[in-house]
Chain A
């Protein structure tokens, strides 16, 4: 049982590349913290620094009230689950789980009971004598979890543990990991690039980009009040629509608001847009030409283009190209391609950002 505190943590590689640019956050005892961000944002590096596999250039990492910067991974009282599981291929499932305990000189009966307990929790009882290569992907994943559980560490560290599994299994394991963590009530830090995993698992969500924290908070708060346009388009699928606020029709609809004058970008979640012929009182109405339609059964995504915007390509991966707006509607009934529609969003569902997208402005 422990909390993890990061104080102004930095990592600079020998070549001068700054991977982590000063990160502060705290994970409370028993909380599940998810680090999420695009590839190369430094989330794995940060996790490895907590594990002790990477050195800390400056700042402090504190696990359970102890500064661990100079402490070996084995002595930090953590357990890590790797993306490729990193099971010892020549050892049986039992030995894979028992190895770390043996190295600590734990008495045999204690090892036996801990491994049996973990095997029961993870339903690996029948497989203890098998080698990792005789197991399926999901079973290997469970062995990797078992290796972490038997240690009874203060902190679990997960480095994209589900990304080698197929989509169905990934969802099943996601739920399982969350249940297990609740049951053991062990502080956890989990790295992923999958925003859905991040949203569903986290107590605290840390959105990272370019070695920095973009936003920290409860997943729903982050979804509802993204602090920057990066967070707005990274969290949520399809991403939030971002429209430039120039002296055009959109801005005129928001006239009379001081915030709207200050802001440069308007964000609207696809599900907050409704197709309607009414003009939205106090809200915003967009006139769109339907370009493409995606039906996924329970809902339909309408890709529309706005007359006044130049068409182009997205500035960042995950964002929408300029001039394109996605509307998400329930059911499968959608307008035809080429049809002109009007999408309306109420005022309280609008998000305003500064021109550079780095600051949220309350409307």
Chain B
């Protein structure tokens, strides 16, 4: 145990406060900027207290869109982001848990090889294989579709590895007891392994949802129509203007909105995490 000294506390709090300030201040500024009108934000003297245009800015951001005719309202972009992030998270969990089940519980030829091939894909994130992936997606006519946004990001090994590690901690006797109880491979998976994996699934969902939500390069490449953009690419496009002032207050409102769903996912899923930590017994 560290001895309790008042000075230690003061120093620790000072460092932590400084850290929080560095992280939180830009977020705070974004929230403040989203409550003022365009003139105030661009004026150069950024106020540090909320202004009076909150409702107007958020209403415009969500339902109307920027003043440029081609920009989609954020409401629609949020929906796009939500669909693709959820699709990526769910799809990845589905594929990973099945492949991990196969790799851990079945003896088939080239099992080791299969595992290593899955493992190697860790070294090939979307950015590395972006040209061939684009080519395949475009040949399959999946540009500007949800499938195109989701499928290429599902394929990667992180989830498989996570589930594999978890499955290997499940005692073999549980499988043997199931066999004696007359449960075949599918029943064992459905009745025993899946309920035990709930917390792992929750963890992977959070990670993958945020991963999917934060995707920038891939959606930027394959979406050409504004109606298929995600919110992360949408923010960027709000700021690229040619002959007008960028509407910073709307961009900031959008940024704040973009932060909310991942925060909500983390907050909601955290309860599952904690429950999982308290109830770990296999």
Indicate with 1 or 0, residue by residue over B166-203, a CB within 8 angstroms of chain A CB atoms.
00000101101101111100010001100110000000
B→A interface (CB under 8 Å): 171, 173-174, 176-177, 179-183, 187, 191-192, 195-196, 279, 281-282
- Distance (whole angstroms) from the CB of B178 to the closest CB of chain A: 8
> Judging by beta carbons under 8 Å apart, are A86 and B173 in contact?
yes
Interface centre among B187, B279, B282 (most CB of A within 10 A): B282
- Distance (whole angstroms) from the CB of B167 to the closest CB of chain A: 14
> Judging by beta carbons under 8 Å apart, are B181 and A100 in contact?
yes
B residues in contact with A90, CB < 8 Å: 192, 195-196
B residues in contact with A13, CB < 8 Å: none
- With known contacts A74-B181, A74-B182, A86-B171, A103–B176 Cβ distance under 8 A: no
Which of A72, A87, A89, A147 interacts with B179 by CB under 8 Å?
Answer: A72
Q: Which residue of B lies closest to A95 (CB)?
A: B191
Please report the C-alpha to C-alpha distance between residue A74 and residue B192 in the assembled complex, in whole angstroms.
17
Which residues 100-144 in A have Cβ within 8 Å of B in the complex?
100, 103-104, 132-133
A-B contacts, 6 listed (Cβ < 8 Å): A74-B179, A74-B182, A86-B176, A86-B177, A100-B181, A103-B182
- Distance (whole angstroms) from the CB of B193 to the closest CB of chain A: 10
Please report the C-alpha to C-alpha distance between residue A49 and residue B207 in the assembled complex, in whole angstroms.
43
A residues in contact with B179, CB < 8 Å: 52-53, 72-74
A residues in contact with B281, CB < 8 Å: 89, 132-133
- With known contacts A88-B192, A103-B187, A53–B182 Cβ distance under 8 A: no
Interface centre among A72, A84, A89 (most CB of B within 10 A): A89
A residues in contact with B279, CB < 8 Å: 133
> Judging by beta carbons under 8 Å apart, are A86 and B182 in contact?
no
> Judging by beta carbons under 8 Å apart, are B174 and A73 in contact?
no
- Distance (whole angstroms) from the CB of B41 to the closest CB of chain A: 53
B residues in contact with A78, CB < 8 Å: 180
- Distance (whole angstroms) from the CB of B272 to the closest CB of chain A: 14
> Judging by beta carbons under 8 Å apart, are A80 and B171 in contact?
no
Pick the 8 closest A-B CB pairs, nearest first.
Answer: A100-B181, A86-B173, A74-B182, A103-B182, A86-B177, A90-B195, A133-B281, A82-B173
- Distance (whole angstroms) from the CB of A107 to the closest CB of chain B: 16
Q: Which residue of B lies closest to A157 (CB)?
A: B180
